[in-house]
Amino acid sequence: MLAFAAGVIVIAGVLAVVLSRRSWRRVGDDGTPVQLVIGDLPSGALGCQPHEPLPAGTHAVRIRATAAGPGSVSVRVELRAAGRYSGTGAVGAGASGGTVVAALPHPLAAAVVASLCVWNTGAAGLALAGAGAGPADQLTITASAASGKPAVATVGRVRIEDLISSRRVSLWPILGRLPERIATATGSLLAPWLFVVGLIGMILASAALLRASGDGDEI
Amino acid sequence: MRYRVDLLLVVALTLASGACWAGITPAFQKTDETAHFAYVQAVAELGHPPRQFVDTGLLSAELTCWYNGLEITRYRFFTEERPPWAPPLRSSLDHTCKGLSPRYDGAMYQAFQPPAYYLLAAGGYKLASAFALPTRLLFARMVSVILIAIAVALTYLLVLELVPGSRWAARAAALALALQPILMFKESGVNPDALDLTIMAAIALVTARAWRRGLSTSRALAFGALTGLGVLSKVNFLTLLPSIALLALALWWAGDPSQRLLRAKRLALGGVLALALFGLYALVNHSLWHRGLTYRQAALHSHGGGSIHRLLDFTWQFFLPRLPGTQPLFSGYLPVWHDLLEGITTRLGWWNDYGFDRWAPVLVAIGVALAIAAACYVWPRARRRPWPALIVAAAAILFLVSLILADYQYSLANGDEFEGRYIVAAMPLWGLLVGCAVAAARPRWRGILTGLLAALFLAHTVIALTTTINRFYL
């Protein structure tokens, strides 16, 4: 029993360390698969994607894009036709692992479907990754934010992931969201209960099995 | 009688572990779960197994509604993708899918399977008939979990029987199975493999008891009934029949030579019972359910091209690197490592599409080697008879050979499709090996060793759970 208890404490310690590690944390995504490069967003250009669904709690977006040449990478994003959430967020944190992260002006209190515009504020062009889409859903690119030139359509939509924060955060604030995510993915409110009760029961039953005496047995 | 408390705790542990895995896995993300659940729904809603054997890809209107609504195929196999998380979706689907027909007389590519498991799972489905379809799916999953709990309890008893008097060994065996995450992930889904495993654990126990205490008529009948039930559980059970025949032969041979005729008669009685069960199924299947009797998917029919030489080559390359001058039959991997060891110890998901890193199988291989070494040490020293354990080991090897033969047949038409989960029915042997490892220790160390192993198994489960949470929910 003591050996098991010591093991459980070690496991709990490792879990605490894992939960405290900071990373980008999602609240959702737009369901666009990463299949192809849908187009290049030149430096200074603005790309707008209509009908972008953003769940409540979104405070930043992660855009699937890689630098298409030398130079610094940075973006700003803007929500249009989203009522009080219109406006441009902070400068994004540069390309990393095929993604660029940029903050929205405010965290979204409720889910919205809006036009999401990405403004390439860096020196390097950006190759946008996503999937093909019909003309009404395609991302369109304006040569520069203030040029007034007509927009050019790309061949599809860029993949957008919605983040809880524009900074890397630990998993602790996410834990409370797990039951609701499990219930939605399984389609049943029973599922998170099964998970939690099962997890606790598993540890307790293991401990009880090891606590019972088994001495005095020889083979 | 103290072992009864142990048994209750073993059942509680496995139910808890299974519930955990049943709850955390998104709908229809266990292997072949959509097709198996469609079968369960057909049995529950139509009162008979599905009659449409051709895979039309169709499901009942209700199941289709949930399947599409939960976007199952959008994120299956795509590890970058996540299931839908927005809570309004669930209530929206509840509303949209309510009232749609749950009746469809087909089950995709699993409709040809025998019905025993599905009849049990349909009980869980009917119990939750007042709830929406995903809750019915969870109830059907929990039927599998109950079956696994029985299998683990039977394994506990098996180890008590084969390593007599050592309850620590039996506890370690139960912990090894109940906290084996790949087994629990797969068997907490809607899949007849759960019944296969349970029946095989029961056959192993009956064999061990018959060996130690004598082959009574009741044990011979139990042996036959379990074999008959196994044939009705899943087509994969057929690969276990050679091993079961070996066990029967061992039971006939063991013990007083003057009683062999009597034992042969009893075994024959068991055989008749097995055949009677199958005959009854064939009769009901034909006359009541008006359904074809087949144990093979049309797609599996071989296109020929087989030969003894090719079969031997296939078997060689399954275990060892191919010899110079021979044709490669596997695409640059060693199946015994890639499919068997990695498949059953490190991979999660529908088609093993996510799981542990590559370091994990190495650790598992070391663990298996240590357990086998301990078994080699313990069995010859066992106070009672070492033969039952050796017979079980031989039966397991025969099972593996049968699986390879089946895979060879399949490969002639479709290429190698061996999956680690096919050996799940032999998992009681893993429990037995772990039990032997504990029994090999000095008596005062057995409790400590079991505790350490339990912590190790729990860590394995926790890593698998966090990997699953990361895959679907982060």
Shortest Cα distance from B470 to chain A (angstroms)?
11
Instruction: Choose from A71-75, A197-201, B157-161, B366-370 the range with maximum mean pLDDT.
Output: A197-201
Is A35 within 8 Å of chain B by CB?
no
**Average pLDDT across chain A, whole number:** 85
Cα–Cα distance measured from residue B360 to residue B88, given in angstroms and rounded to the nearest whole number? 39
pLDDT of residue A179: 95
Q: Are B272 and B224 in contact (CB under 8 A)?
A: yes
pLDDT at A84: 46
Distance CA A37, CA B43 (A): 47
Cβ neighbour number for residue B77 with a 10 Å cutoff: 11
- Number of residues in chain A: 219
* Spatial CB neighbours of B26, under 8 Å, sequence gap ≥ 6: A185, A186, B70, B72, B83, B472
In 3D space, the residue among B35, B95, B80 whose CA is nearest the CA of residue A187 turns out to be B95
Residue ranges of A 99-118 with Cβ closer than 8 A to chain B = 111
| B285, β-bridge pairs | none
Residue B33, domain member (yes or no): yes
Q: Determine phi and psi for B176, rounding to 5 degrees.
A: -60, -35
Residue whose structure tokens are 């009901």 = B284
Question: Given this model, what pLDDT does residue B389 score?
Answer: 66
SS3 B340: helix
pLDDT on residue B300: 53
Q: What is the ipTM of this complex?
A: 0.91
Please give the helix or strand (H or E) that residue B438 lies within, else none.
Answer: helix B427-439
Q: Cβ distance A126 to A120 under 8 Å?
A: yes
Tell me if B166 is assigned to some domain. Answer: yes
Q: What is the per-residue pLDDT across A52-70, written as a single tens digit (0 to 9) for each? A: 999 988 999 999 998 888 8
Contact between chains at A198 and B171 (C-beta distance less than 8 A)? no
Rg (CA), chain B: 23
- Quick one: which of B274, B118, B293, B276 has its CA closest to B195? B118
Nearest in space to B450 (alpha carbons), one of B4, B5, B6, B88: B6
- Would strands A46-54 and A36-41 be described as parallel, antiparallel, or unpaired? unpaired
How far is A16 from chain B, CA to nearest CA, in Å? Answer: 12
SS3 of residue B357 by DSSP: coil
Confidence at A201, pLDDT banded by 50, 70, 90: very high
Residue A31: its chain B contacts at CB < 8 A?
71, 74, 81
Give dist(CA A40, CA A67) in Å, integer: 9
Which residues does residue A112 pair with via DSSP β-bridges, in sequence order?
Answer: A54
Q: Which of A1, A2, A4, A113 to mutate to test the interface with B (most CBs of B within 10 A)?
A: A4
**Sign of the CA dihedral with A16 first, then A22, A28, and A33 last:** negative
Provide the Cα torsion B200, B202, B203, B207; round to 10°: 140
Q: How many CA atoms lie within 13 A of B310 on its CB side?
A: 12
Q: Which residue do the tokens 């080699």 mark?
A: B376
Q: For residue B33, with 0-12 CB atoms within 10 Å meaning exposed, 13-18 middle and 19 or more buried, which class applies?
A: buried
Rounded alpha-carbon distances, angstroms, from residue B249 to B74, B194, B238, B273, B431: 51, 26, 18, 17, 24
SS3 B52: strand
**d(C-alpha B38, C-alpha B40), whole Å:** 5
A148: left (phi over 0), alpha (psi -120 to 50) or beta: left
Pull the structure tokens for residue B366: 């070391």
Tokens representing residue B382 in the block: 């066992």
Per-residue pLDDT of chain B (474 residues; tens, 9 = 90+): 568 899 999 999 999 999 999 999 999 999 999 999 999 999 999 999 999 988 888 999 999 999 999 999 999 988 888 999 988 899 999 999 999 999 999 999 999 999 999 999 999 999 999 999 999 999 999 999 999 999 999 999 999 888 776 789 999 999 999 999 999 999 999 999 999 999 999 999 999 899 888 999 999 999 999 999 999 999 999 999 999 999 999 999 988 899 999 999 999 999 999 999 999 999 999 999 999 887 766 545 555 667 888 888 888 888 888 888 888 888 778 888 888 888 888 888 887 788 877 677 777 778 778 777 777 776 666 545 567 667 777 888 899 889 888 888 887 777 667 777 888 888 888 898 888 888 888 888 888 889 999 998 999 999 999 999 999 999
Q: Please report the pLDDT score of residue B299 as a whole number.
A: 47
Rounded Cα distance between A73 and A91, Å, is: 10
Q: What is the pLDDT of residue A209?
A: 92
Of the pLDDT bands very low, low, confident and very high (cuts 50, 70, 90), residue A219 is: very low
Interface contact B86-A28, CB threshold 8 A: yes
Alpha-carbon gap, residue B151 to B174, rounded angstroms: 9
Which residue type occupies A180?
E
Give the single-character DSSP code of B109.
G
* Partner-chain contact B454 A181, CB within 8 Å: no
**Helical segments of B284-350, H only:** 308-319, 335, 342-345
Question: d(Cα A44, Cα B386) in Å, to the nearest integer?
Answer: 79
Domain membership of residue B403 as a residue range: 2-295+305-472
Task: Enter the DSSP assignment of B320.
Answer: S
Distance, in angstroms, between A92 CA and closest chain B CA?
22
Q: Is residue B185 within 8 Å of B468, Cβ to Cβ? A: yes
Judged by DSSP in three states, A77 sits in strand
3-state secondary structure of B293: coil
Closest CA to B222 of B276, B274, B280: B274
- All residues of chain B having their beta carbon less than 8 Å from the beta carbon of residue A99 are none
**Dihedral (Cα; A53, A58, A60, A62), 10-degree rounding:** -50
**Amino acid type, B95:** H
User: Could you tell me the CA-to-CA distances from B32 to B35, B56, B93 in Å, in that order?
Assistant: 6, 15, 23
Residues 6+ away with beta carbon under 8 Å from B249: none
Sequence letter at residue A167: R
Q: B10, A34: Cβ pair inside 8 Å?
A: no
Helix B2-24 to helix B167-178 angle (10° resolution) is 10
* Cβ neighbourhood burial of B191 (10 Å; 0-12, 13-18, 19+): buried
Tokens standing for residue A69: 């040449």
CB B168 within 8 A of CB B422: no
Beta-sheet pairing, A112-120 with A99-103: unpaired
Averaged over A201-209, what is the pLDDT?
94
Residue B215's φ and ψ, nearest 5 degrees, are -85, 85
Helices and strands of chain B, counted as H and E runs: 20, 2
Chain B closest CA to A162's CA: distance in Å? 12
Q: How many domains does chain B have?
A: 1
Give the tokens for residue B7.
């048994």
Report the distance separating Cα B356 and Cα B334, nearest Å. 18
For residue B85, tell me if it sits in a domain.
yes
B1, B6, B13: best to mutate for the A interface, most A CBs within 10 A: B13
Query: What is the sign of the dihedral through the CA atoms of A94, A97, A98 and A101?
Result: negative
Mark residue B304 as left, alpha or beta (left: phi above 0; alpha: psi -120 to 50; beta: remaining): left
Binary contact (B85, A219; C-beta < 8 A): no
Q: Which helix (H) or strand (E) holds B146?
A: helix B133-162
Contacts of B148 in chain A (CB under 8 A): none
Q: Which of A79-88, A162-171, B123-132, B213-222 has the lowest mean pLDDT?
A: A79-88
Q: How far apart are CA A28 and CA A112, in angstroms?
A: 12
Enumerate the residues of chain A whose CB falls inside 8 A of the CB of residue B455. Answer: 3-4, 6-8, 10-11
Residue B180 domain-assigned (yes or no): yes
Quick one: pLDDT at residue B396? 84
As given in the structure block, the two tokens for residue A136 are 């009404």
Domain membership flag for residue B300: no
- What is the Cα–Cα distance from B320 to B283, expressed in whole angstroms? 45
Task: Report the pLDDT value the prediction gives residue B419, as an integer from 0 to 100.
Answer: 77
